[in-house]
Amino acid sequence: MKTLKVGIIGCGNIFPMHAASVMERDDAELVAVCDVKKDRADEKAKQLNTKAYDDYEEMMDAEQLDVVHICLPHYLHAPATLAATKRKIHVMTEKPMAINYEDAKAMIDGAKENGVTLGVIFQNRYNPGSQLIKNMLTSGELGAVKSGKLQVTWDRSDAYYQNSDWKGTWDKEGGGVIIDQAIHTMDLMRWFVDSELKYVDASISNRAHEIIEVEDAAEGVIAYKNGVVTAFHAINYYTYDAPVEIELHCEKGVAKMVADKATVTLHDGRTFIADHNPLETFTYDSGVKGYWGVSHVKQINNYYDVLQGKAKELYIPAEEALKTQQMINAVYQSGKERQRVNF
């Protein structure tokens, strides 16, 4: 079995989840890290005993990589992916795939054309609560979904945006509360409903921030071709990161998720509960909470198992991430044009 040579592009907040996940594997070696802020790359390289670069294409060529992880600002996901795929390097990128649907589709096409595997992080699908609800929908125990609603009310202050040179902008972040904070919860809802989009009707606005271009509030309806209509409400001007909430009204019961905890109450009186396991942790850099990356580790392990022939397919294929990208972009189109987007 070949030991895969791995590089990570981007040494910011999400970097530890990827670095530690790779370094725990016996069949992968982290050989290089890259960041345009060279001091950050140097720091991580020294810490992990690897090489540092400030140009990812130079790193790809010099190290003859097998895999790259992309932990960059949103607008750079597509160009970095395409640079890797044309070199026949496998890619694991953070969410969202890109800023727009066309770039995301090009990423999938580039991977297929060059025979490499593209993975996109949507780790919350691995959370115990998410798994309970999905499994009970798949088994038929909950019956068909009749309707759904979700809420994300988090805190991203002006100070948070002042500390970034790309967040809060349309051209680099691609949006605000929807594409950055609410995207995971909206991905879960789409995954639960499991149907093609029919239409999106949304409103977006900036209600409480002084220095950003993008939306800090969004609400609307996402309708699916199987007849399900779901509602969403998202803001990032609350005073703390309140637990996200999802509720599904189904034929045979109601499924509720608050943060990672899911409670399924069936009409026959039975109740099922799944929550984060406090014993299920993973060790990262100091200052990083271990449970943040447990599901990251699970998804990254599945990705490498596929590359090494230990698993048949990705649990979260890039095509699934593309569907969520399409939904997110439709929210923005509807909000900006102030009209329904039909599919």
Tens of pLDDT along 59-86? 999 999 999 999 999 999 999 999 999 9
Dihedral-angle region of residue 227 (phi above 0 means left; psi in -120 to 50 means alpha; beta otherwise): left
Domain 124-276+317-342 = CATH 3.30.465.10: no
pLDDT of residue 276: 81
* pLDDT at position 148: 98
> Residue 290's pLDDT is what?
53
Contact 317, 306 (CB under 8 A): no
- The encoded tokens of residue 116 equal 């490499």
What per-residue confidence (pLDDT) applies to 284?
A: 64
Give the chain's residues under pLDDT 50: none
At the top level of CATH, the class of 4-120 is alpha beta
Q: What pLDDT score was predicted for residue 278?
A: 73
CA distances from 147 to 183, 193, 215, 227, 251 (A): 19, 9, 26, 9, 10
For 153-186, what is each residue's pLDDT tens digit? Answer: 999 999 999 999 999 999 999 999 999 999 999 9
Whether 4-120 shares its CATH topology with 124-276+317-342 is answered no
Q: Which tens digits make up the pLDDT trace of 266-299?
A: 999 999 999 987 767 666 665 555 555 689 999 9
In this predicted structure, what is the pLDDT of residue 91?
Answer: 98
pTM for this one?
A: 0.96
Backbone φ, ψ for residue 200 (5° rounding): -125, 130
Separation CA 205–CA 216 (nearest Å): 6
* Closest CA relative to residue 294, chosen from 80, 51, 20: 20
**What are the boundaries of each domain within the chain?**
4-120, 124-276+317-342
The predicted pLDDT at position 277 comes to: 78
